[in-house]
Structure 1
Amino acid sequence: MVSAITSNEQFTDAISNGTTLVDFFAEWCGPCKMISPVLDKLEPQYESIKFVKVDIDNLSDIAKKYEITAVPSFVFFKDGEVVDVVRGAAAAQVKQALDKLKA
């Protein structure tokens, strides 16, 4: 199950080392709820990539920093730097980005 980030410190720890997929979501977002089980299925296939979730309503400062204007949005980090972004509940695009990072 994808871990939920609940503080700025947790977020910084999650993205600072290695490769991380951050799922920016909101509880009220229907497409976010639809793609969540897809992420849960993908996570075990990419053991070298951390999967985390950030609720944009609870951590709006982080969402603003990364210019999240629509949810779901997926931001891929490598050692703290943004390397890719996928907007919308596009499972195929998320998988494509994960495959690029895994290679």
Structure 2
Amino acid sequence: MAEEGQVIACRDRRTWLHQMSEGPESNKLIVVGFTASGCEPCKFMAPVLDELAKKFTNVIFMMVDVDELKLVAEDCGVDSTPTFIFMKEGGIVDTFVGAANKEELQKLTETHATVVVAVA
């Protein structure tokens, strides 16, 4: 696991599975940015995700390249980049697609980081 304030780069399925097993146990929000190496909007959003990781140290931030982990992207329903999914207790609670509104990405992070999920 990365130190607080850092984005975890998931370059292989093992890292992804490890983070997916650790996240729910910690009850933390997980924000996963799905990118592609040739995607200019993705390059624009990478520093935004870094800034959010420093600001929201109670959130786990991860970056997944869809070309490296195609099956993970497919499993998460990602069909364009950049896509950001918000996960809590093992499930997807929200999705944000695109790079046009970095303020919305921050707002969603803030909202879901503070939402308490009821356990049935």
TM > 0.5 fold call: yes
* RMSD, matched Cα: 1.2
> Which residue of structure 2 lines up, in the alignment, with residue 79 of structure 1?
89
Q: Letter of the 1:61 partner, please give it.
A: L
> Which residue of structure 2 lines up, in the alignment, with residue 32 of structure 1?
42
Q: Are 1:51 and 2:56 counterparts?
A: no
What is the number of residues matched between the two proteins?
A: 103
Structure 2 residues without counterparts, runs of 5 or longer: 1-5, 115-120
> Which residue of structure 2 lines up, in the alignment, with residue 94 of structure 1?
105
Q: What is the percentage of aligned positions where both structures have the same residue? A: 29
Q: Letter of the 2:105 partner, please give it.
A: V
Query: 1:53-85 deviations in whole A, cap 9, x for unaligned?
Result: 000001000111111111000001112110110
Distance in 2 separating the partners of 1:23 and 1:66: 11
Report which of the two structures shows the higher radius of gyration computed on alpha carbons.
2
Q: Given that residues 14 and 20 in structure 1 are in contact (C-alpha distance below 8 angstroms), is that contact kept between their aligned partners in structure 2? A: no
